Structure formats: C-alpha cells, structure tokens
Amino acid sequence: MLPFARVAIVGLGLIGSSVARAVRQTMPTVRLTGHDADPDVRAAAVALELCDDVADQAGAAVTDADLVILCVPVGAIGAVAAELAADLAEGVVVTDVGSCKASVARALAEVLPGVAIVPAHPVAGTERSGPEAGFATLFQGRWCILTPTEGSPPEAVERVAAFWGRMGAEVELMDPDHHDRVLAVTSHLPHLIAYTIVGTASDLEEVTRSEVIKYSAGGFRDFTRIAASDPVMWRDVFLSNREAVLDMLGRFSEDLSALSRAIRWGDGDALEELFTRTRAIRRAVVEQGQDDAREDFGRSHP
Ligand code: NAP
C-alpha cells in the first residue's frame, strides 16, 4: 500500500524534479502535481513531463494533495507555506527538503497551525540546479533525515518515512537542533571552506587566474565542484543555520591556527599525525558506501 496517493511538489528545481522523477519510477500510480514560482521552470517541468499537472499558483497545486513537499530554498519555505495554507486539504501531511531544520520547523509551525508537519532533509544532491539537473536515482542509498517536532503526528512521520524508503533512501530520525549541528560540520562548513578557497584563489594577484585553472588538478578543482553549488540555496543555508555554523567555524579557525603553528615551528609529527587520522576518515566514508571507492573519484586517466 502506497503511503500517499496524491503528491504536490512546490519548487521544481534539482531536488523537486528529482522527487518527481523518483515518484514516477517507484510509485507510478501516484498523482503528481507541481508548482514553481519561475514561469521558465514551470515550462521546463511541463516539457519534461515531471508531473501530471503543473499549476501557475501554489494553492492550485496542493488542493487535492495528501502530501505536500516544499522544495524551495530554506529562506522561502515559510512564505511559500503561508501562500498555500488556505488551500490545503483536510488530513494533508506537509513536509520539506530544506538543508536546515530548526528554522524551517519554526517557520512551518507558525504559518500552518494544526497541520501535520514532518520536516525532512534528504542528504543527497549535486552542484547543479534547476529541473533539468534532477534524476530519479538521486536518493537511492542516501540518508533522508526526518526531524519531527512534538506536534508531528507519529502516523504522519511513519508515512513520510515510508515515502522516502520507497524512493530508495535510508531514513533516520533526529532532533532538529542536533541535525543542524551535525550538518554544520559535515556539509555547511565544507561548503564555506570551498567558497573561501576558490574565492581567495580568484583574488590572488601574484598567481594569474589562468594558472589557477591550468594547474587545478593539484587539488583545487575538487573544491571548485562544491563552490559551484547554487548561490541562493547556500546563502539561505548560512543565514538560517547561523549559530551552528559560526560555532563550528570558531572551532575550525582554532584548528587551522594550530596547523599554522605546526608548519611555522617545523612540527612534522603533528602534521603527520593529523594527516594519518584524516586518511582513515576517508577510508571509513568509502567503506560505508558514502563515496565511490575508485581513486581520484573514478576520473579516467587516459
Ligand atoms: P533549485 O534547483 O534552485 O530549485 C529551487 C526551485 O524553487 C527553483 O526553481 C526556484 O525558482 C523555486 N522557488 C524559489 N522560491 C520559490 C517560491 N517562493 N515559490 C515557488 N518556487 C520557488 O534548488 P534545489 O537544489 O532543488 O534546493 C531546493 C531545496 O532543497 C533547498 O531548501 C535546499 O536547501 C534543499 N536541498 C538541496 C540539496 C542540494 O544539494 N542542492 C540537497 C538537499 C536539500 P527560481 O530560483 O528560478 O526563482
């Protein structure tokens, strides 16, 4: 038995269009409706046949739905939920895919009183955006973290978990604040570091931009993938998860200072000890199936 029969997706970019494709593939009898604020995205969604119906207004997309998934940038989730609140059906479950959870849970509870809300975060994505970038298998074998609040009905949590399970995701439940601290270190801080390194390299005066690009295989190019991630999405992530990110950034800055000191004083043992520990982390990531085991991310070396 399917967890939901009529699913509405609001925001048809990378994640929303991937959900649409995954639903089509794994739950083909589900009736899918969709909406995006951008007319070009709506036109692309129609051309790609992502949904049975793409509505010009958010409210029109959700009227019959028993599950509404908000797939817009984190900073827009509260406003979008307020926009469609009056059109929600009786008994509907509202969820989202936002990368930060405490701020989203607060925003949704404020504008949707009495509605069954189950915030969620699929820990899967790429550096690309838009409806063309999505694919049906994006969530397969990836974690989807649900962060129910006291007001989330257990039966709604179970159905949302079953929905993500159908799309191939492994589901875990977490407290929203804990989620934000974990993701601050595993996702938000790495993005901030990549944005900084790529920004610094492009600002350097003694090394030309063409040299930075030409010799990027030395390591720089791996940061450019992360630093190419959607600017609006990431602006909202840092503004919404400010406290946890600043906390982790403080810790990171201290560790970076310790590393500078080790280099300045020629403390090779400290450097080797750290680099040995970090190599073991990489092994664990691969062993747990979180990345390709092939060297150099599986790039071909003709
Ligand atoms: P995306 O490709 O940029 O798609 C977001 C879509 O939402 C865009 O088409 C955007 O339209 C539309 N939108 C913005 N404001 C809207 C509004 N008020 N009403 C309706 N549509 C609106 O971004 P994404 O990567 O799919 O990210 C969507 C959500 O998934 C974010 O909350 C993000 O934190 C979360 N997430 C992303 C990843 C990832 O790796 N990308 C992973 C996990 C979770 P325009 O921009 O054209 O105006």
Same domain for 234 and 150 = no
Counting ligand 1 atoms within 8 A of each CB, the residue from 18, 19, 36, 50 with the most, and so the one to mutate, is 36
Which three-class secondary structure string do you get for 210-236? HHHHHCHHHCHHHHHHHHCCCHHHHHH
> What's 182's domain CATH number?
1.10.3660.10
Q: Give yes or no: residues 193 and 139 share one domain.
A: no
pLDDT for 50 equals 98
Q: Do 14 and 59 fall within a single domain?
A: yes
Q: Ligand 1 in contact with 76 (CB < 6 A)?
A: yes
- Residue of 83, 102, 117, 89 whose CA lies nearest to 11: 83
Name which of 161-165, 214-218, 267-271 the model is least confident about.
Answer: 214-218
Residue 252 domain-assigned (yes or no)? yes
Q: Whose CA is nearest to atom 33 of ligand 1?
A: 98
Mean pLDDT computed over 231-253: 97
CB 89, CB 63: distance < 8 Å: yes
- Of 154, 174, 194, which closes a domain? 174
Examine the domain organization and report whether 268 and 183 are in the same domain. Answer: yes
**Comparison of pLDDT for 295 and 188, the residue scoring more:** 188
Q: Say yes or no: 193 and 125 in one domain.
A: no
**Residue 162 forms part of a structural domain:** yes
Q: Are residues 139 and 196 in the same domain?
A: no
Q: Looking at the structure, do residues 270 and 285 belong to the same domain, yes or no?
A: yes
Under the banding of pLDDT at 50, 70 and 90, the label for residue 299 is: confident
> Quick check: is 228 in a domain?
yes
Are 223 and 75 members of one domain? no
Task: Return the structure tokens found at 228.
Answer: 């190419």
280: pLDDT confidence band, cut at 50, 70 and 90?
A: very high
Compute the average pLDDT of residues 23-31. Answer: 98
Domain range for 250 is: 178-290
Q: What is the mean pLDDT of residues 16-32?
A: 98
pLDDT of 302 over the 80 cut? no
| Domain count for the chain | 2
DSSP bridge pairs for 66: none
CA–CA distance, 297 with 295 (Å, rounded to integer) = 5
16 within ligand 1 shell (Cβ under 6 A): yes
Q: Which of 112, 118, 115, 73 is nearest to 237 (CA)?
A: 73
CA of 142 to the centre of ligand 1 (A): 19
CATH of the domain at 144: 3.40.50.720
pLDDT of residue 77: 98
Q: Is 300 part of a structural domain of the chain?
A: no
pLDDT band per the 50, 70, 90 thresholds, residue 206: confident
Q: Is the pLDDT of residue 193 over 90?
A: yes
Query: At residue 106, does pLDDT exceed 90?
Result: yes
Q: Tell me how crowded residue 66 is: count the other CB atoms within 10 A of its CB.
A: 19
Q: What is the mean pLDDT of residues 67-90?
A: 98
Residue 140 has pLDDT above 80, yes or no: yes
In the sheet that holds 67-70, the strands lie side by side as 53-55, 31-35, 6-10, 67-70, 93-96, 116-118
**Residue 39 and residue 163 share a domain:** yes
Q: What is the pLDDT of residue 205?
A: 79
Q: What's the chain's average pLDDT?
A: 96
Task: Say if residue 168 is in the same domain as residue 54.
Answer: yes
Q: What is the pLDDT of residue 271?
A: 97
In this structure, are 119 and 245 located in the same domain?
no
pLDDT (mean) for 295-300: 85
- Is the residue at 299 inside a domain? no
Q: Which of 148, 174, 200 is the last residue in one of the domains?
A: 174
Mean pLDDT to the nearest integer, 226-250: 97
Residue 177 to residue 151: CA distance in whole angstroms: 16
List pLDDT tens digits, range 108-138: 999 999 999 999 999 999 999 999 999 999 9
Neighbours of 270 (CB within 10 A): 15
pLDDT of residue 297: 85
- Structural domain includes residue 60: yes
| Closest residue by Cα to residue 41 from 104, 132, 108 | 132
Token pair listed for 243: 């406290």
Instruction: Provide the pLDDT for residue 203.
Output: 87
CA 245 / ligand 1 centre spacing (Å): 21
247 close to 221: Cβ distance less than 8 angstroms: no
Pocket flag, ligand 1, residue 75 (CB < 6 Å): no
Q: Is the pLDDT of residue 298 over 90?
A: no
In this structure, the answer to whether residues 159 and 41 fall within a common structural domain is yes
In-domain check, residue 298: no
Instruction: Establish whether residue 119 lines the binding site of ligand 1, counting it when its CB lies within 6 angstroms of any ligand atom.
Output: no
Closest CA to 67 of 86, 94, 85: 94
Q: Which of 139, 174, 209 corresponds to the end of one domain?
A: 174
129-154 as b/e: b if 16+ CB within 10 A: bbbebbbbebbeebbbbbbbbebbee
pLDDT (tens digit, 9 = 90+) per residue, 168-185?
A: 999 999 999 999 999 999
